[in-house]
A and B are shown apart, each in its own frame.
Chain A
Amino acid sequence: MKALLFVVLLFQCQLVLANAEVVEFSDESLRPRYQQLLEELRCPKCQNQNLADSNSPISNDLRVQVQRLLEEELSDQQIKDYLVARYSEFILYRPEVNQSTWLLWGSPIIFVLLGLLAIYRLYFKPQDLQAPGSSQGQSNSQITPQEQQRLDSLLADREQQ
């Protein structure tokens, strides 16, 4: 019984989904662009849904508006500009590179460079440094002859005692 109910409800969901997408275009080639735009445009009322997913009234209006603008043969960029002029850059899920977003766009590059720098420091730099213990002979040779003389005499003293 439960399984039957589950199956029935499952089909109900599909019906609802199918109903949501009745958009007529004069030219079918507009449809992929329409879908693409709805994916990339953000619903101004909801915090984290695009126009395609949101069923708020304002998203519905904006979908109709995008469709109308497509029929008026505006380019994708013109449609985005139209909406940005009214709803600000908030509406773009993929913000343009400008003064306030260059850090956002540039941060992946900056972090990769920082990572490379860290790797370089960790794996290549230590060989240039003279780590104590690893090169004892070398550090011995750095004593001046005077120091060597003094060391010898100290050791000689100790042996006499």
Chain B
Amino acid sequence: MNRLALFIPLSLFAGLTLVLLLGLDKDPTELPSALVGEPFPEFSLPSLQDPETLVTKQDFADEVLLVNVWATWCFACRIEHPSLNALAEQGVKIVGLNYKDQRKAAKLWLLERGNPYAFNIYDDQGSLGIDLGVYGAPETYLVDAQGIIRHRRVGVVDKRVWEAEFAALYLELTGTAPVLGATQ
């Protein structure tokens, strides 16, 4: 019994090492998602293309869609854009949330790089951003037909992320399986 007790410090050390080792794999910049499983927040903001037109959650039209937070100042959005184009070509409905951006620059961006968005919400003050808990662009939300947020990705959506995080859920919700190429 006494001899076994001598192993207590060693086993405590081993346990602590294991816990810390597992912690190394975690991305500390990733926040736990507060809104997954919650309804997408209500909003009423101008559209990017036309300042006079207000867009609201009703424009989601009870469809399964992606909401993509982007801005022209966001470098990673450049990398992500071809993926969004490819998804839109395959019939994925994507709503853009143009986050704290310049209207003119954003419109030019869509002309130059193609427009994968069904429509764009122009959130120059970042108010919908705060309601969503956005803390950086790009972010992508998968919203189901009931307007519930089913998944959130902070960072670029590319082939790897789509396959790992979105594809199965999207297939379950819509019955279709869009694919991304290796370069997207």
Do A and B belong to a common assembly?
yes
Question: Are A88 and B129 interface neighbours, CB within 8 A?
Answer: no
Rounded to whole angstroms, the CA-CA distance of A57 and B100 in the bound complex is 10
Rounded to whole angstroms, the CA-CA distance of A24 and B7 in the bound complex is 61
Which of A10-18, A79-87, A147-155 makes up part of the contact surface?
Answer: A79-87
- What 0/1 pattern do residues 127 to 144 of A give for CB contact below 8 A with B? 000000000000000000
Main secondary structure of the interface of B (DSSP, over half): loop
Q: B100 contacts which chain A residues (CB < 8 A)?
A: 57
Q: A61-B126, A86-B34 are in contact. Are A47 and B29 (CB under 8 A)?
A: yes
Question: Are A87 and B133 interface neighbours, CB within 8 A?
Answer: yes
Question: Are B131 and A86 interface neighbours, CB within 8 A?
Answer: yes
Question: Are A86 and B29 interface neighbours, CB within 8 A?
Answer: no
Question: Are A62 and B130 interface neighbours, CB within 8 A?
Answer: yes
Q: Is the CB of B32 closer than 8 A to any CB of chain A? A: yes
**Which chain B residues in 1-47 approach chain A with CB under 8 Å?**
28-29, 31-35
Main secondary structure of the interface of A (DSSP, over half): helix
Q: A45 contacts which chain B residues (CB < 8 A)?
A: 135-136
Q: A65 contacts which chain B residues (CB < 8 A)?
A: 130
Contact of B33 among A58, A61, A84, A88 (CB under 8 A): A88
Q: Is the CB of B61 closer than 8 A to any CB of chain A? A: no
Question: Are B34 and A84 interface neighbours, CB within 8 A?
Answer: yes
Q: Is the CB of A39 closer than 8 A to any CB of chain B? A: no
Query: Which positions in B face A, CB cutoff 8 Å?
Result: 28-29, 31-35, 100, 126, 129-136
Query: Which positions in A face B, CB cutoff 8 Å?
Result: 44-45, 47, 57-58, 61-62, 65, 84-90
